[in-house]
Amino acid sequence: MRRRLIRAALGIVVVMVGGGVVAMTVTALRPPAPQAPSTTVFTRELAIPPLASARRSGDHVTFDLRLRSGRTDLGQKVRTATWGINGDYLGPTLRARRGDRVSVNVTNSLTETTTLHWYGMHLPARMDGGPHQMIQPGTTWSPRWTVDQPAATLWYHPHLDGRTAQQVYRGLVGMFIIDDPAADALPLPHTYGRDDLPLIVQDKLFTPDGQLDEHPRGISNTGLLGDTILVNGTLAPYRTVTTRAVRLRLLNASNARVYNFGFADDRTFALIGTDGGLLPAPAPLTRIQLAPAERAEIVVRLRPGERTVLRSYPPDLGAGFLADRLAGGDDTFDVLQLRAADHLDPSADVPAH
């Protein structure tokens, strides 16, 4: 029996000196690192979150958001219980301009208290949607502020004390895009859903009956790490591209996972923006690493008829072998396949400044 127990420890070795533990080597404290094969079959057209309906009067724009529960096809052969904003899963993309006076009516139709926080937005604290601004079930919160920051890719999500992770995991996530005249003047891809694509990247665990599993497996030093990647709620997504350049607005909306995005063929892309907005000049890269909540805007060029895969490579976590492994530091996932049409409309080069 003792030998069986030792074998069952799966490589846990403890060195004892004077009755104390001084060293431990772990080879399998969590399930094997999930590795999406290079032969991933991309079977579903990428869903694009709709632009939120808005009422505009001059520079005053009003959005209405309703937080609700629902059921969504997340590729599990059954519809998965989820939460969403103006829908069953995720939320619409809000879009406003610098100088706009924004009003948002947020109605909580859930059975739990929540909040809604505008991540990256410059606004008064009383409009921020933090843990101190709870929205009780059946009530509406209506923050108002003036947009006063450069063009950027922001996002919104609950920020309830002790429940943020669970509520984001269930689907309460959406993008908020800020535009301004300076960005409008740049020859960058800008047609939402065509050559300007929002990518909300999340990892999930599923129970055998196809429901979201909110309990981490094995041992994790960071939080829940999923073995299934969804982009805008789409499993194994592809997107048909009809322009020579496409802009990808990447949002890491996972609870704990760090992604290291790049393309399977190691092609160079242009990093044009990060959390705070557009960069002074594009940066040519083959990898961009994003921790939870971080955003990046990249532009990639394609040739007619080709296909390329956006992938997450093992991130550089810098915490040492054991800590890196427990935090997903040796995981690789295929994220999205881009399929270039046989004929592509021309796209301008990314401006140098």
Token couple for 319: 């915490």
DSSP single-letter state for residue 348: P
Q: How far is CA 33 from the centre of its chain?
A: 20
Q: Superfamily assignment of 197-345 in CATH?
A: Cupredoxins -  blue copper proteins (2.60.40.420)
pLDDT digits (tens, 9 = 90+) for 24-40: 333 334 444 444 445 68
Encode burial over 77-93: b for 16+ CB neighbours within 10 A, e otherwise. Answer: eeebbbbbbbbbbbbbb
Q: Are 333 and 279 in contact (CB under 8 A)?
A: no
pLDDT of residue 222: 81
What is the Rg, in whole angstroms, of the alpha carbon atoms belonging to the chain?
A: 22
pLDDT of residue 63: 98
Q: Are 127 and 102 in contact (CB under 8 A)?
A: no
Phi, psi (degrees; rounded to nearest 5) at 297: -110, 125
Domains 48-184 and 197-345 share a fold: yes
- Write down the domain spans for the chain: 48-184, 197-345
**β-strands 333-345, 307-312 pairing:** antiparallel
pLDDT of residue 122: 97
pLDDT digits (tens, 9 = 90+) for 225-265: 999 999 999 999 999 999 999 999 999 999 999 999 999 99
pLDDT of residue 35: 43
Q: Superfamily assignment of 48-184 in CATH?
A: Cupredoxins -  blue copper proteins (2.60.40.420)
Single-letter amino acid, residue 287:
R
Token couple for 340: 């270039």
Q: Are 322 and 26 in contact (CB under 8 A)?
A: yes
What is the C-alpha to C-alpha distance for residues 350 and 281, in angstroms, rounded to an integer?
9
Phi, psi (degrees; rounded to nearest 5) at 166: -65, -40
List of the chain residues with pLDDT < 70: 1-39
What is the C-alpha to C-alpha distance for residues 123 and 329, in angstroms, rounded to an integer?
35
Coil vs helix vs strand at 43: coil
pLDDT of residue 267: 98
What is the C-alpha to C-alpha distance for residues 197 and 336, in angstroms, rounded to an integer?
12
Q: Give, in degrees to the nearest 5, the angle at Cα 345 between 343 and 347.
A: 135
What is the C-alpha to C-alpha distance for residues 139 and 227, in angstroms, rounded to an integer?
36
pLDDT of residue 323: 79
pLDDT of residue 24: 32
